[in-house]
Amino acid sequence: MIYLDNAASTALSPAALEAMLPWMTEQYGNPSSLHRAGQRAAQAVSEARAQTAKILHARRGMVCFTSGGTEADALALSTAAAWGERHGKRHIVSAAFEHHAVLRGLEHLAEKGFSVTFLSPGPSGRIRAEQVADAIRDDTGLVSLMAANNETGILQPAAEVGALCRERGILFHTDAVQAVGHIPVDAEALGADLLSLSAHKFHGPKGVGALLCREDLPVVPLLPGGGQERGRRSGTENVPGIVGLAAALLQADTSMEADMARTAALRDRLAEAVSRIPGVHLTGMDQPRLPGILHLCVEGVRRDTLLLLLDQAGICASAGSACSAGALEPSHVLRSMDVPEPLSMGALRSSLSPANTEAEIDTTAEILSDLIHRLKN
């Protein structure tokens, strides 16, 4: 199997697994308990929190562990909405290519009386900070812009937008689920009041993520309960998950420079090889991108047919987002980039990790070339 779907999920790193194991076996205390078993667990969560904060340049009190990226996004939006209501700012600026966790959340807020402006980047796939500036109104309370797009890998000008928001006293949320662990993310430098991340996107375990959230923002928990995570997120802490998140993040941070160079080289090798296949259009080549994502569209080929044939050949890739049954949804990301429908129907996303090899890349390019040739004839 050649696994090129690391933007969907990644292999758990051995270091994360090792860090987690004690907390799934002999160390089973509840962090809220008074006794020593509980205190040990509380200490583990506390260390994970400190480590996460340090790596992302945030204050420890900002880190709220969640069940993953979707919950972090939902918590960010409900928090920002409460802040907006308190300050009479019920307008939100966001982008049409955001992850569904943000889009659906914003639609929900729109139903509750917020007005939302969705910016489209056009063919570049990258929002310009001036677009955000132009969209901001007197009653704008929140700008939510992802750090890197999950389909195309195109980086967004989060730092510029963050600075803009800070200047105008507007909250800035960034869904950094695809960025954290892959490129340097500095919450302070980004000016992010709210930042979402998910562990299984950077070789951590599934079912755990975090929201970095400015401490003075109103506490609006999604679930009422025992008041864990400083009241922001009730429910017994996922101790092994939290420990695994921090361990994976530390590892990603430690080897980031080398990993970025290696993954980008693999990506470029694949890009170089597939660019020679007739009818292949690479996406966002002139834009700053994540090192691990190569997105392309094949003219006259249906993406699900292509993915299925790749799967039969042992290659796991993706076309963008899929519904829970596994069928493909039309890509709202490509629509926001004005990619014509016949072309977007042929979308293919390869997302790499440092564990991929040159040989895998070459095999993939060869198989892809054969399949596209076959499908077109």
Partner 1 sequence: MKKRVLIAMSGGVDSSVAAYLLQQQGYECMGVTMRLYENTDVGIPKGHTCCSLDDVEDARSVAARLGIPYYVLDFSQEFRSAVMDKFVRTYEAGGTPNPCIDCNRYLKFGLLLQRARELGCDFIATGHYAVIGRREDGRWLLRAGEEDARDQSYVLYSMTQEELAHTLFPLGELPKAKVRAIAEEQGFCNARKHDSQDICFVPDGDYMSFLERWNGKPYPHGDLIDQEGKVLGRHRGAAAYTIGQRRGLGLAMPHPVYVCGKDMAANTVTVGPSSALFSPALLADDWNWIVPPPEDGILRGEARVRYHQAVQSASVTRLEDGQVRLDFDAPQRGISPGQAVVLYQGDLVLGGGTILRALPEHDG
Region near partner 1 per CB under 8 A, out of 197-205, 275-283, 306-314, 355-363 = 306-314
Size of the site for partner 1 (CB under 8 A): 16
Among 45, 22, 21, smallest CA distance to 32 is for: 45
Radius of gyration of the chain (CA): 21
Residue 328 near partner 1 by CB under 8 A: yes
Active site residue 323: yes
The nearer residue to partner 1, 195 or 307, going by C-beta atoms, is 307
- Selected from 302, 321, 335, 343, the binder of partner 1 by CB under 8 A is 302
- Rounded to 5 degrees, what are φ and ψ at 244? -65, -40
The nearer residue to partner 1, 311 or 338, going by C-beta atoms, is 311
Residue 362, helix vs strand vs coil: helix
Residue 355 near partner 1 by CB under 8 A: no
Burial 31-54 (b: 16+ CB within 10 A, else e): beeeeeeeebbbebbeebbebbbb
Query: What's the min distance (Å) between Cβ of 191 and partner 1?
Result: 31
- Tokens of residue 52, six digits: 């996460």
Burial 310-338 (b: 16+ CB within 10 A, else e): beeeebbbbbbbeeeeeebeebbbbebbe
- Selected from 286, 325, 359, 377, the binder of partner 1 by CB under 8 A is 325
What span, in angstroms and rounded, lies between the C-alpha atoms of 19 and 244?
6
- Tokens of residue 282, six digits: 């690479």
Among 323, 306, 319, 312, smallest CA distance to 369 is for: 306
The nearer residue to partner 1, 40 or 302, going by C-beta atoms, is 302
Residue 48, helix vs strand vs coil: helix
Query: What's the min distance (Å) between Cβ of 327 and partner 1?
Result: 4
Residue 335 near partner 1 by CB under 8 A: no
Residue 222 near partner 1 by CB under 8 A: no
Are 193 and 141 in contact, with CB atoms under 8 Å apart? Answer: no
- Selected from 34, 326, 359, 377, the binder of partner 1 by CB under 8 A is 326
Residue 309 near partner 1 by CB under 8 A: yes
- Selected from 54, 104, 166, 335, the binder of partner 1 by CB under 8 A is 104
- Selected from 1, 34, 327, 359, the binder of partner 1 by CB under 8 A is 327
Region near partner 1 per CB under 8 A, out of 84-92, 200-208, 262-270, 299-307 = 299-307
Binding stretches for partner 1 (CB under 8 A)? 104, 302, 304-305, 308-309, 311-312, 323-329, 375
Instruction: Write out the catalytic residue numbers.
Output: 323
